[in-house]
Structure 1
Amino acid sequence: MPQPLILASTSEIRAKMLSNAGVPHTTSGARIDEEMVKEALLAEQASPRDIADTLAEMKARKISDKTPGAIVLGCDQVLDHRGVLLSKPVDSHDALTQLQALRNDRHTLLSAAVICEDGKPVWRHVGVVRLRMHDVSDAYLQDYVARNWDSIRHAVGAYKLEEEGVRLFSRIDGDYFTVLGLPLLELLSYLALRGDLPR
């Protein structure tokens, strides 16, 4: 019998992706001091990939330790711009500053997913997407932030590709679901392989 999946996140878009794909699940937010963990890992010269993977595992483990027998999915996404990791903007001014730094340049999104069972990781994947932003004007970026602040305040890089943010980009190399924060195709393949999803 398929085991219940718990998404260790309060991310609406990740929950929606799972629901749209027909994956039964519940959600349970895992409280982790992400900025403190990032700072510690950066001090150890960890790669952006390892930082995303570590944070995803920490979230999955935290919920998995409390829910024996369940499979718990932890996720995290980091944005790497020329070796600098951008976090969720602290305010609208920070959002504008991030977008100004990203415009007319390339950056990389890394979306990590880790599944834990009984407190131990059993599967992991880090999806990588490379994006290039148009050389958009300050005026457009200011208006964009003002119009979309309530939505983009929770997004690394201060944009959402599934919304008006798509207009900012000239090129995207990689998987759309990974941009949204979950390497969904790889996850679905794993769940089907273990018999938790019919195929």
Structure 2
Amino acid sequence: MRRAPSAGHRPRRQQGVTLIVVLVLLLVMLLGGLSMARMSEVGTLVAGNISFKERAVQASEVGINTAFQRVAALANTDADIGTWYAAQLRATDADGVPLDIDWAAAPEVRVGANNEFSVRYFVDRQCSTTAITEPQRQCLLRQADAPQSAAASKQEDTGYDPPAGRQFRITTRVTFLGRDGRDDVATFVQALVTKK
């Protein structure tokens, strides 16, 4: 048998507060899950970019070695040669990349499993002029390491400098060729090399 409610005691009406608290908690959990998914996506993109940059730097070594072989084979370093060599130091931009270079005309080497990297190079001699009269003042030189003999170390300094090699700056531009063949990303790498 059901008892009839007494006049002083009424059944409680539900307020719905629990439902609102649960909905707020679900919303907070949903936003937290979305932010974690976004953070993991950004982490994956950063890791991919770092990997790509390392591959581009490795590809630039091929361009640097190719350019160095061409510099070593030069008989005359006092004149510009084609679009890849300048006998005089070039002005650079804020990042140190030489100005006024036609990268599309520079020599190209393809690197990678599917030739996905295009490596182009440019060399400029580190001299302030093309007609060298005073190499010690007009060019960036690297002093050669010359071992001293026992007799020479006992004698006074003769004032002669050891033989010096002229410095050449090799600038490589590595571009990743996208699936449609266009240049997507460019990485510049430079090296100083010496020719005696």
- TM norm structure 1: 0.28
**Larger helix share, 1 or 2:** 1
User: Which structure has the larger Rg?
Assistant: 2
- TM norm structure 2: 0.28
